[in-house]
Chain A
Amino acid sequence: MAFSLTINGHRHTVEVDSDTPLLWVVRDEIGLKGTKFGCGAGLCGACTVHVNGQPARSCLTPVEMVDGADITTIEGLANDSQLHPLQQAWIDQGVPQCGYCQSGQIMTAAHLLANNPSPSREEIVNAMTGNLCRCGTYARIVAAVEAVAGGVGHYEPAGEDA
């Protein structure tokens, strides 16, 4: 079946089985590999993208449920050549180790800050705790989110209708 999606501001039509998870559409049909497959069960958060501004586990989101939706992936977070402040903070804090979970971590953090520009540490931890990191970068993640929350304030990600 054909589905129409707006991904990072670009319109795409894809021909796939209707129950295909959004994750595999984004990765293999559109070719945006930044969104990762970790568990296929919504347990790890590596596949987190934004659907109409809300974080979603793309591994559990059938494409038929997001027909016509606006999707933002890690590739769409930067504004032209300007990195999202969280991406810059991730680099400055040296957050990633293996890095595999970090797209999902950043997408979750971006949604948090879009709705709560200056979260407390507890709010950050609560928002981020559904995203697993096997390397144990949790403390750096909190530090990076705090650096942005303390320094930049509200930020509207590119490619999303806020």
Chain B
Amino acid sequence: MTMNRRDFLKVSTGASGSLILAVSLPGCASVQTGFQPDTGEWKPDVWLELTRDDNIVFTLARVEMGQGTYTGLTTLIAEELDVNPARMKVKFAPVAPEYRNPLYGLQLTGASTSLATSWKPLREAGASARQMLVMAAAGVWGVDAGACTTEDGRVVHPNGIDSLRYGQLVELADKEVIRGKVALKPRSEWKYIGRQVGRLDARAKATGKAVYGIDVDLPGMVYAVMTRSPRYGGAANDFNRNDIIGLPGVRDAFITERGVAVVANSYWQARKAQQSLQVDWDFTKAIDLSTDQVFEGYRQAATNDPGARERSEGNVDKAADRATKVIEAEYEQPYLAHATLEPMNATAWYHDGGMEVWAPTQAPDLGRIAAARHSDLSPSAITIHTTFLGGGFGRRLTQDYIEEAAAVAYQLKVPVKLVWSREEDTRHGFLRPAMLHRMKGSLNDGELTGWHHQVVGPKILDWYVRNAAPAQYPWAPKFLYDTLGRVGLMAEGIATPKDISAIEGATSYPYQVPNVSVRHTHTDPGVPITWWRSVGYSHNGFAVETFMDELAHESGEDPVQFRRKMLDAEPRHREVLDRAARLAGWDQPAPEGRARGIALFQSFGTYVAQVVEAGIEQGEIKIYKVTCSVDCGQVVNPRIVEDQIAGGILFGLTAALYGEINFDGGEVRQSNFHDYRLLQQHQAPEVIVDIVDSDAAPTGVGEPGVPPVIPALGNALFALTGERQRRLPLTA
């Protein structure tokens, strides 16, 4: 292990001076940098690898699940290195502290943070490498480095004629030392940031060559399927093993913590054998509830416990006493599945005292803990290989599918691929929690004087910390894992970040109202939950922006004007609101039979306003058009921003129209795309995405398109029918 020799790297990569990491990192870097004479490779830092023959490889530490990190982050480093991003090769990062997301102290991709957290470090890394190459060339020529320029992978002599390829300079560049800070290019000199750089992964994905987790293939590989308890929390007591092991192709069948595994020579043989499985389940610890009971429990909790005070200004009770009108509303939002098109899967191989795992995961270091838990291996004996992800949306932050593959692989001595069926994916996932919202608004002669919002439901960290806490301390002995999880929860808000998953978007209520109260009543029905594209914003967006619409209506004011007059202190909110209204022709009547609704919502630092134009055709909700204005600060790739926002809109509309996972006696009712529907091509509305030109620090775009479109559609339907829907999904 080579000591990291450059301080600037400590600064740039060691943004891993993370918020949560209480134990300091070991004194030397786990990723070897420097020049390797045998291979001719120069690694100026943990991100870049330049070779003598001009291969430039970027290590991508934020996984690619459609959101565009593969292109966006490569563009950042390429810009400063001064190389066309299309020439760079991209490889997925292994698990190492250097690749952690500095906001979480974990190597995870989520919360629309990849670009925001990479914005400075990656440009600094590119600029530093470029500077060292320039200094090396200047040394060769005996000229002033400041007079040299660069052009797409070459250093150009001050005479403008001679040049040296980066590859020719790698060995010399390694010996250069940068003193002080490296200057970043001014905005006016950018060649790639803010321009149309085509998606670097498009070719692989249009030719079928991109390797997703499910595509991993190893010599001698066998296939496993897992039969899980129909009710979450159940465990297998026994099963008809003798019937199963005689079936064609079956290699083995056994009980694991997660259910009964059937292993066969082919996927189909494993699936067929699974049909003959008879399992005796122990449901002692299993959930046994219906969706109605979940909401009944929420309502009781809401009544019994006003909840933790999360935001409080003025006195909402006094405001209500003095109001001319007090409006109350209750909103219900169901459990939601992620329905990534690539079902959960992982491939694991236990060999030579260690385990290799190939998986489409949003958190490879948590995956390593998950695999360690289900074997007698330590995390350091486990290697995680990340692949392309066929969708993530938060589902792949939870590593249950890696636990399963690891548990099975640990019993076998051959590589094993475990693939979930769509039905299993729908029924056994970790879900967006069902939530209840109680709202109370005070209007005094049309002015909103009081806003009370009670959020009722579980916290996601309760379900997540189990693997997340040990991932932060991978050297901790395994018997401490559960302790670490509990300590993580106890120290929430002190040593670990406060869990805002239930209240985000509620506490950030942007409107200037003199009396504001936001409370969270914490209640957890025991249904497994995780992050889901836009997380708490997804349900708080619906509650806040639907209630704003109700209040606008009650006060007799136009929904845009009603919001606008309370946004004097929020110019970026107001800007997107105005722009979306203008672009959508808000002042003009909607075409015959249609109506418009608007919503404004900030999430993950990004401001979004959307106008939905909808109608009802042949008994079904028809969405004609969505007009969206977005302010996400500096845009790195305009097309990816547009596509992420538009994709988020369709994701939100899918939830608004169809999204609902329901329980009956503890079992999920839905199973496949016929009863857990996705929006189809012929239902997709025209989507217009208007991006505010800004040089503010870039913020996320993967998720912020989702929250406002749900209330905007509901508000449009109210404008159309005069009936307010307070429960999702919406009906015609």
Binding site for B on A (CB under 8 A): 16-17, 19-21, 24, 27-28, 31-41, 43-44, 46, 73-75, 78, 83, 87-88, 90-92, 94-103, 106, 125-126, 128-142
Q: Is B269 an interface residue (CB 8 A)?
A: yes
Which residue of chain B has the shortest Cβ distance to A37 in the bound complex?
Answer: B214
Interface residues of B in 636-688 (CB under 8 A from A): 639-640, 643-644, 646-651, 672-674, 678-682, 684, 686-687
Residue on A nearest B682 in the bound complex, by CB: A129
Q: Is B567 an interface residue (CB 8 A)?
A: no
What residues of B have a CB within 8 angstroms of the CB of A34 in the complex?
A: 207-209
CA distance A158 to B560 in the complex (A): 55
Choose among A44, A74, A101, A138 the residue that contacts B207 (Cβ–Cβ < 8 A): A74
- Can you list 8 A-B contacts with CB-CB less than 8 angstroms, sorted by A residue number? A17-B272, A33-B211, A34-B208, A36-B390, A38-B341, A95-B202, A100-B212, A137-B647
Q: Is the CB of B672 within 8 A of A43?
A: yes
Q: Are A24 and B266 in contact (CB under 8 A)?
A: yes
New A-B pairs, 20, CB < 8 Å, besides A37-B214, A101-B341, A140-B643? A20-B266, A20-B268, A21-B268, A34-B208, A34-B209, A35-B208, A41-B673, A87-B206, A87-B207, A88-B206, A94-B643, A96-B201, A96-B202, A98-B391, A99-B202, A131-B681, A134-B391, A134-B678, A136-B647, A141-B681
Q: Which residues of B contact A97 (CB under 8 A)?
A: 66-68, 643-644, 647
Q: Is the CB of B214 within 8 A of A36?
A: yes
B422 interface residue (CB < 8 Å to A): yes
| Inter-chain contact B217/A31, CB cutoff 8 Å | yes
Chain A at the B interface: SS class: loop
CB of B252 within 8 A of chain A?
Answer: no
The residues of B with any CB-CB pair to A shorter than 8 Å are: 65-68, 198-199, 201-212, 214-215, 217, 223, 248-249, 266-269, 272, 339-343, 388-393, 419, 421-423, 639-640, 643-644, 646-651, 672-674, 678-682, 684, 686-687
Top-7 shortest CB links A-B: A34-B208, A136-B650, A99-B205, A100-B390, A98-B66, A97-B66, A74-B208
Residue from the list A43, A74, A131, A135 in contact with B674, Cβ < 8 A:
A43
Are B646 and A95 closer than 8 Å at their CB atoms?
A: no
Pairwise interchain contact A46-B681, C-beta atoms closer than 8 A? no
Known: A131-B681, A138-B681. A99 touches B210 (CB 8 A): yes
Question: Which residues of B lie under 8 Å from residue A31 when comparing CB positions?
Answer: 217
Q: Which of B203, B215, B682 is in CB contact (< 8 Å) with A33?
A: B215
User: How close is A110's CB to chain B, nearest CB, in angstroms?
Assistant: 12
Residues of A within 8 A of B389 (CB): 98
Instruction: Give the chain A neighbours of B647 by CB distance below 8 A.
Output: 97, 135-137
A96 touching B422 in the complex, CB below 8 Å, given contacts A41-B672, A75-B207:
no
Contact status B646-A96, CB under 8 Å:
no
Assembled-state Cα–Cα distance A51/B288 (Å): 46
